[in-house]
Amino acid sequence: QVQLVESGGGLVQPGGSLRLSCTASGSIFSLNTMGWYRQAPGKQRELVATTSSWTTPSYTDSVKGRFTISRDNAKTVTLQMNSLKPEDTAVYYCYYRFNVEYWGQGTQVTVSS
């Protein structure tokens, strides 16, 4: 079992920045994939960014050049979000995958003036 704890969400004005963090605990394997999904009201869950030790990070087109995903170690992943837009408003979920995928409980990000 793997547990994921997210932090860093909140309310920010358009053009602002937020930094999300996620720490995994439990049965962690170093060759894993971690990343972030988001789900806005009335919309399907969307893969925002993903990173593994053997590939370069990947991003959905709408956040390229604004969001940066990084790994501190095999258990922690962060998402630096800059130039935030109202359409970035969503619940952001951290995930961990090694054969099985696990999800955090989500953290709300609201971009509004």
- State pLDDT tens for residues 81-108: 999 999 999 999 999 999 899 999 999 9
Q: What is the pLDDT of residues 43-66, one digit of tens each?
A: 999 999 999 978 889 999 999 999
Query: What pLDDT score was predicted for residue 54?
Result: 82
* Statement: residue 72 has pLDDT above 90: no
β-strands 46-52, 55-59 pairing: antiparallel
pLDDT tier, 9 (very low <50, low <70, confident <90, very high otherwise): very high
- Which bin fits 91, alpha (ψ -120 to 50), beta or left (φ > 0)? beta
In tens, the pLDDT along 39-48 reads 999 999 999 9
